[in-house]
Copies of this chain bind each other. A is one copy, B any other.
Amino acid sequence: MKTPGLAHVAYLLGNKGEAIVVDPRRDIDEVLAAAREKDLVIKFILETHRHEDFVIGSGALAKATGAKIVSGDHALFGQSDIRLRDGEELDLIGLRIRALHTPGHTPESTCYAVFLPDTPGRAWGVFTGDTLFIGETGRTDLPDREKTSDNARLLYASVHEKLLPLGDQALLWPAHGSGSVCGGNIAERDDSTLGLERAYNPVFVKSVDDFTRAKVAERIPRPPYFSLMERLNLEGGKPLAAKPGEVPSLPPNKFASESKQGLVLDARDPEAFASGHLPGSLNLWLAGLPVFGGWIADETTRVYLVVPRAVDVEAAVLHLARVGVDRVSGVLAGGFDAWRDAGMSIEKTGTMTPRELHDAGDAVAVLDVRDDQEFETEGHIEGARHMYVGYLDEHFEKIQPALPRHGRIALVCSVGHRAGLATSILHRRGFTEVANVLGGMTAWGKLGLPKKQCPERSMTTMDIEGERR
């Protein structure tokens, strides 16, 4: 039960007609339907930590099913029915569950090992929350960036002392898959074991010092919505407010007038957006909504949606709700086509191929909007300015001096989605000659065009984080 976009994984573990749900999200309908289909009665809800990247659904699910919420006993866990100390065991739905307190990602982080009745001495698997991922560990900079080093050592110890003893055979059931903002470099596989991780996961193949150094060097963006999530989740999350079906469809003229009070998000692909879009709209492709929705909007923002197909409304509203963006106030009836055919005002940005960009040389300024780590370690175009797309709007004054007011600007990310968002942000701020580089650094690399490895000096997470505190 993956959350597309957030790469969050909720688990429904059934045995003999009963079930445990691990880390449910806010829209509980899906897990309820899955349980019904398999004829499972949900009895317990396990929380691995408070979560900072999405609104949890423990409270709503407990209310709907009468299930008990199980957590660790750290104070940072919100309301729960059963609080387990480190090492404490419980028999739930015919399985033995052992809580393992594994601080590091967050102070309260708790893993749950699961033992089958037949093999009491060997763990079947372990719900690792944000402590251990496939090929990665949870970020350790969240509670306090200053303490990243301490947290990295804590996490290292948690993994080695609490998880490793479970044995090579233990299956890994982490809270996130590839693409999450909770860990830097999660593998794309769904299945792994502790034994396999031992062979290649940095937390196992590195020494504690090397591991800590690497964690400190990591610079993963920290979305502004994380603090809202933490506050809500301390109270057991928040039931889903938006009923996607009830978001009103607005015809072009009404959409135009109402959306002046809010933010227009255009969820089409960047190519379609570039050829024509509503003035002032931001381009946030469908699958990017749950990640970047929380960067550019919050619980107070009135959001107006332009979706590729009418059927996408439900997904779009859910994506936003999962990161706390609840006030979706309208959808453009008939989509961009209706706007276009009504002769409403249209703006365009542009696209460039990597080859065109290369051939243009200095005539085009390049702004790379990948995160710091991608920019620095995967190489970038010589002379490129850099600022992570998530900071672009909020910290625009920092990058503005580096951009030519009237010249051409090429926006680059890994393939073109984030660059599409960046293009729209710049265009809304009055830069008219902006273009999205098609295929981004991925295509640039495939074409064998030259990359620079050591970083240009540019806006970094660090600078902005410093600012923030």
Asked if A310 and B39 sit within 8 Å, CB to CB, the answer is yes
Q: Is A132 an interface residue (CB 8 A)?
A: no
> Which stretch (A68-76, A212-220, A341-349) binds chain B?
A341-349
State the interface size on chain A (CB cutoff 8 A): 88
Q: Which residues of B contact A167 (CB under 8 A)?
A: 168, 195
Q: Is A138 an interface residue (CB 8 A)?
A: no
Q: Is A445 an interface residue (CB 8 A)?
A: yes
Asked if A119 and B442 sit within 8 Å, CB to CB, the answer is no
Contact of A32 among B119, B245, B268, B343 (CB under 8 A): B245
Q: Is A340 an interface residue (CB 8 A)?
A: yes
A234-281: which have CB < 8 Å to B? 243, 245-246, 248-251, 254, 268-276
A-B pairs, top 5 by smallest CB distance, nearest first, are A169-B195, A343-B446, A343-B443, A168-B168, A271-B275
Known A119-B196, A122-B195; judge A65-B248 contact (CB<8 A).
yes
Asked if A346 and B438 sit within 8 Å, CB to CB, the answer is yes
Report the separation of the CA atoms of residues A249 and B17 in the bound assembly, to the nearest whole angstrom: 10
| 5 CB-based A-B contacts, threshold 8 Å | A171-B171, A276-B353, A343-B442, A343-B445, A343-B446
Contact of A342 among B40, B274, B446 (CB under 8 A): B446
Min Cβ gap A135→B in Å is 8
Contact of A251 among B17, B268, B336 (CB under 8 A): B17
Q: Closest B-chain residue to A335, C-beta based? A: B39
A29-48: which have CB < 8 Å to B? 29, 32-33, 35-37, 39-42
Min Cβ gap A22→B in Å is 15
Residues of A within 8 A of B (CB): 17-18, 28-29, 32-33, 35-37, 39-42, 64-66, 116, 118-119, 121-122, 124-125, 135, 167-171, 189, 191-196, 198-200, 243, 245-246, 248-251, 254, 268-276, 308, 310-311, 313, 331, 333-338, 340-343, 346, 348, 350-351, 353-354, 415-416, 438-440, 442-447
Q: Closest B-chain residue to A60, C-beta based? A: B246
Q: Which residues of B contact A351 (CB under 8 A)?
A: 275-276, 348
Q: Closest B-chain residue to A38, C-beta based? A: B310
Known A191-B191, A275-B275, A313-B36; judge A41-B438 contact (CB<8 A).
no
Contact of A336 among B271, B275, B333 (CB under 8 A): B271
Min Cβ gap A172→B in Å is 10
Asked if B41 and A439 sit within 8 Å, CB to CB, the answer is no
Min Cβ gap A49→B in Å is 23
Report the separation of the CA atoms of residues A270 and B340 in the bound assembly, to the nearest whole angstrom: 12
Q: Which residues of B contact A270 (CB under 8 A)?
A: 275
Asked if A17 and B445 sit within 8 Å, CB to CB, the answer is no
Asked if A66 and B276 sit within 8 Å, CB to CB, the answer is no
Contact of A198 among B169, B245, B346 (CB under 8 A): B169
Min Cβ gap A43→B in Å is 10
Min Cβ gap A180→B in Å is 19
